[in-house]
Chain A
Amino acid sequence: GQQLNQSPQSMFIQEGEDVSMNCTSSSIFNTWLWYKQDPGEGPVLLIALYKAGELTSNGRLTAQFGITRKDSFLNISASIPSDVGIYFCAGQLNNNNDMRFGAGTRLTVKP
């Protein structure tokens, strides 16, 4: 199946800094999603993207669906301590259950 490469694996940043992470695939996807997992909890959906080139925001979060349909990125502006967690990208080709997840980016925010 398709492999998702998510980077970086981990980030240590100062509160107030902006964050950028990305996900690339060897194959195209028709849907890209970004989830966040708080410590001790299951992942929660942040943003879903459905069209190549689409740019979508959710508060301080912005995500884009790459033009080639093989990549996506997530930006977090002005980070705060509660942004701490693991961020997962996920890609889906068809409208069935062939979703693939990246390995995650662990974010640490120092106050």
Chain B
Amino acid sequence: DVKVTQSSRYLVKRTGEKVFLECVQDMDHENMFWYRQDPGLGLRLIYFSYDVKMKEKGDIPEGYSVSREKKERFSLILESASTNQTSMYLCASSLRGAGTNEKLFFGSGTQLSVL
């Protein structure tokens, strides 16, 4: 079974702090994604990566950055956390290729609260 592991289930941070959310997948997937989930808004794509050291902006990249130094690990960074970044963050991965790109495997999520 594909396993996507997010390092924390719950995080509480203060406004202005730098926050790191870590995600690791164990199935050698090329594609990795970061989404945020907010009630009534569904899942919105923040950043994604097709390969090591590669990153692309999603729909809502402002206030975030990412790092992909190794194929299995994709980190989301909040440079200076703000209260409007309080949300559930979901990491996902997929295998590159027609018929597999779109089949996302999600982690269990990190509920981040910024006070």
By a beta-carbon cutoff of 8 Å, the part of chain A in contact with chain B is: 1, 4, 6, 9, 31, 33, 35, 40-45, 48, 50, 88, 90, 92, 95-97, 99, 101-104
> Residues of A contacting B99 with CB < 8 Å?
50
Question: Is B104 part of the binding interface, using a Cβ–Cβ cutoff of 8 Å?
Answer: yes
The residues of B with any CB-CB pair to A shorter than 8 Å are 4, 31, 33, 35, 40-45, 48, 50, 56, 58-59, 90, 92, 98-99, 101-109
Q: Is the pair A42, B106 in contact by a Cβ cutoff of 8 Å?
A: yes
Q: Are A42 and B92 in contact (CB under 8 A)?
A: yes
Cβ of B90 and Cβ of A97 under 8 Å apart?
no
* Beta-carbon contact of A42 and B40 below 8 Å: no
Q: A41-B109, A42-B4, A42-B92 are in contact. Are A97 and B48 (CB under 8 A)?
A: yes
Q: Which of B4, B43, B58, B92 contacts A88 (CB 8 A)?
A: B43
When chains A and B are docked, how far (Å) is the Cα of A53 from the Cα of B104? Answer: 23
Closest residue on chain A to residue B58 by CB atoms: A97
Contact in complex: B42, A88 (CB < 8 Å): yes
Chain A residues with CB below 8 A from B98, complex form: 95
**Given the complex of chains A and B, what is the CA–CA distance between A45 and B106 in angstroms?**
9
Q: Is the CB of B109 within 8 A of A33?
A: no
The interface residues of chain B lying within 8 Å CB-to-CB of A90 are 102
When distances are taken between beta carbons in the complex, the residues of chain A under 8 Å from B44 are 101
Given A31-B102, A95-B98, A95-B101, A101:B109 Cβ within 8 A: no
Return the contact of A92 from the options B31, B102, B107 (Cβ within 8 A): B102
Known contacts A41-B108, A43-B90; A33/B102 CB under 8 A: yes
Chain B residues near A44 (CB-CB < 8 A)? 106
In Å, the complex CA distance between A32 and B60 comes to: 22
In Å, the complex CA distance between A44 and B105 comes to 7
Bound together, the chains give a CA A94 to CA B109 distance in angstroms of 27
Q: How far is the CB of B97 from chain A (nearest CB, A)?
A: 9
